[in-house]
Amino acid sequence: MSRGYYSNPLLSLRLCVEILLALRVEILSCLPALRYPVPMAILKVIKLAVLNIPPVSFTLQAGECVGLSGPSGEGKSLLLRALADLIPHEGRVMLDGEDCNHVHPAQWRRRVGLLLPESHWWSDRVGDHFPVREMDRVHALGFDERVFDWQVSRCSSGEKQRLALLRLLANLPEVLLLDEPTASLDPRSTRRVEALVEDYRREHAAPVLWVSHDPAQLARVADRQLRLEHKILREAAA
Q: Contact between 151 and other proteins (CB under 8 A)?
A: no
Q: Contact between 113 and other proteins (CB under 8 A)?
A: yes
Question: Torsion over CA of 27, 29, 34 and 35, rounded to 10 degrees?
Answer: 130
CA separation for the pair 26, 29 (Å, rounded): 5
List the interface residues with other proteins, window 114-133 (CB under 8 A).
114-116, 118-122
Site for other proteins (CB under 8 A): which residue of 7, 52, 72, 107?
107
Residue type, 152: V
**Across the strands, what pairs with 50?**
53
**Based on C-alpha coordinates, what's the Rg of the chain?**
22
Task: Provide the minimum distance between the beta carbon of 120 and other proteins in the complex, in angstroms, as a whole number.
Answer: 4
Q: Contact between 171 and other proteins (CB under 8 A)?
A: yes
Task: Provide the minimum distance between the beta carbon of 149 and other proteins in the complex, in angstroms, as a whole number.
Answer: 20
Q: Contact between 191 and other proteins (CB under 8 A)?
A: no
CA separation for the pair 105, 101 (Å, rounded): 8
Q: In this chain, which stretch among 64-72, 104-112, 138-146, 209-217 interacts with other proteins, using CB under 8 A?
A: 104-112
Give whichever of 120 and 146 is closer to other proteins, judged by the CB atom. 120
* Residue 170 C-beta-side C-alpha neighbours within 13 Å: 16
Task: Provide the minimum distance between the beta carbon of 186 and other proteins in the complex, in angstroms, as a whole number.
Answer: 24
Task: Provide the minimum distance between the beta carbon of 55 and other proteins in the complex, in angstroms, as a whole number.
Answer: 19
Q: In this chain, which stretch among 8-16, 20-28, 80-88, 195-203 interacts with other proteins, using CB under 8 A?
A: 80-88
Residues that bind other proteins (CB under 8 A): 84-88, 101, 105-107, 109-110, 113-116, 118-122, 167-168, 171
